[in-house]
A = this chain, B = another copy of it.
Amino acid sequence: MTEELENHHMTPEEFRRWGRAAVDWVADYYERVESLPVLSTVQPGEIRARLPAAPPLQGESFEAMLADLDRIVLPGITHWQSPNFFAFFPANTSGPSILADLICAGLGVQGMLWLTSPACTEIETHVLDWVVDMLGLPARFKSGGAGGGVIQDSASSASLCALLAARERASGGAVNARGGTGRLVAYCSTQTHSSVQKAAMIAGIGRDNVRAIEVDAAFAMRPAALREAIERDRAAGLTPFFVCATVGTTSSTAIDPVPEVAAICREHGLWLHVDAAMAGTAALCPELRYIHAGVDQADSYCFNPHKWMFTNFDCDCFYVADRQALVNALSILPEYLRNTATETGTVIDYRDWQVPLGRRFRALKLWFVIRWYGVEGLRHHVRRHVELAQQLRVWIEQDPDFELAAPAPLNLVCFRHRGGDAVNERLLAELNASGALYLTHTRLDDRYTLRLCVGQSQTEARHVRAAWERIRTAAG
């Protein structure tokens, strides 16, 4: 067989043949994923033990690789695409997204400069403008004015870029030039995603210069506490510069009071970043757009279509109201990247909007997803997920053995058995070991809390119902 020859590029004919086989493998996977244990049951080292100690000297057949997907890979997969995946936040996907990623890999372009593939940049700019309208975000995030959007790999990277742009603005470029001073202070809440603390470490702000503001009974940031912290730091001669507010916290989808937080930021001249990584997608539905109240006052915003909008990882939409601060924070122009399009300033070079230089054509999958479903199609599925989660919330409220642990405004329900931490820990371990579903936990009010998030593309009413029945049964 030709494909077993060494030194041999895959021909277009072979690519057609093995491409069909790979497409079929993926289609088969989706047909059976529901029957597989959601959380992988392998022990540490078990997958490695199945791999040969040395790489092959001669090439192998593609058939052998496909066979190893079943033999070696699948047992070690935790199935994020199972309709019984309710853990963390979803990282859902869809057919049009997967196929767009295939085409992205096939084109193999670098979008670091406009010039190195204009379509990669222009479709990204255009689709990110679409998304502003789709989510009812403020027009200041569109590319026509001073702002604009860019695809980042993750909300972590978006937080980092927001922090860097804020640092640039607050220090007038001094930190970029001469390094950190340990005098800048950032604010988030006790419920903010750990990526803000990580970003502060990376950016040389320092973990100790991140204030975790206390939250109210609904786990939302207390604006009065934020104001006090800022004033205390100012009085101590420090420089407050950055606030991250969250729309839909990771623990419980709490929604920080962005309008109040924004007013404080404006008063004190702080950069406001709003992280709506998972929850942002809900704003596709006009009736859920209230979650974005106050975002029109934010300096930057992000949400992840790779969480709940059927677009596979990585795809975080990051917006800034003033792109110049971001570009100033990240721009460098060595001779080998110089070109006329860049120098006339008529184009966007997204390399200056992100940490890495290189970038894939990620807009392709977002474009395909929006077109395949249409805005109404996306809304339909989001509404369905919210409805299913709300049904679960009602069941929990009605069950004497369980209680809600936090408000459930969208598609995440936090709850616990009334028996205490040990019972809930055992419950989680037993449920996940069953392979029938996958839940994760958090701590709220210092109590062990189960989280069930409805957001996987294929999750239907029967999956949520079966999950709840299994939870009740396991609780005995």
A257 within 8 A of partner (CB): no
Contact with B along A128-139 (1 / 0, CB 8 A): 001101100000
How many residues on A have C-beta within 8 angstroms of the other chain's C-beta atoms? 164
A78 within 8 A of partner (CB): yes
Q: What B residues does A373 contact at CB under 8 A?
A: 6-8, 59
Which of B207, B313, B372, B376 contacts A176 (CB under 8 A)? B207
Tell me the smallest distance from the CB of A60 to a CB of chain B, in Å.
5
Stretch in A40-48, A227-235, A386-394 with 4+ CB within 8 Å of B: A40-48
Contact with B along A87-110 (1 / 0, CB 8 A): 010011111111101111111111
The B-contacting residues of A in range 41-94, CB under 8 angstroms, are 42, 44-48, 51, 54-60, 62, 64-65, 69, 72-81, 88, 91-94
Which of B24, B30, B178 contacts A182 (CB under 8 A)? B178
Which of B7, B114, B180 contacts A204 (CB under 8 A)? B180
A329 within 8 A of partner (CB): yes
Tell me the smallest distance from the CB of A387 to a CB of chain B, in Å.
14
Q: What B residues does A372 contact at CB under 8 A?
A: 3, 10, 59-60, 62, 65
* Interface contact A194-B334, CB-CB below 8 Å: yes
Tell me the smallest distance from the CB of A134 to a CB of chain B, in Å.
6
Answer whether A380 and B101 are a contact pair too, CB < 8 Å, given A114-B44, A202-B202.
Answer: no
* Interface contact A374-B6, CB-CB below 8 Å: yes
* Interface contact B8-A377, CB-CB below 8 Å: yes
Q: What B residues does A48 contact at CB under 8 A?
A: 122-123, 125-126
* Interface contact B370-A202, CB-CB below 8 Å: no
A468 within 8 A of partner (CB): no
Tell me the smallest distance from the CB of A32 to a CB of chain B, in Å.
10
Answer whether A130 and B180 are a contact pair too, CB < 8 Å, given A59-B374, A62-B372, A102-B26.
Answer: no
Q: Which partner residue on chain B sits nearest A370 by CB separation?
A: B55
A462 within 8 A of partner (CB): no
* Interface contact B119-A77, CB-CB below 8 Å: yes
Write 16 A-B pairs (CB below 8 A) sorted by A numbering. A9-B457, A12-B31, A19-B102, A20-B20, A40-B118, A46-B118, A46-B122, A55-B371, A55-B375, A56-B371, A59-B372, A78-B118, A88-B336, A154-B357, A194-B334, A313-B360
Q: Which 8 A-B pairs have the closest CB atoms?
A: A204-B204, A180-B180, A10-B95, A76-B119, A179-B206, A19-B23, A180-B204, A26-B106
Contacts A20-B20, A25-B106, A179-B182 aside, 19 further interface pairs with beta carbons under 8 A come to A6-B376, A6-B377, A10-B95, A40-B119, A42-B118, A44-B114, A59-B373, A62-B96, A62-B372, A77-B109, A77-B118, A80-B110, A91-B358, A97-B105, A101-B105, A153-B356, A157-B356, A179-B206, A314-B356
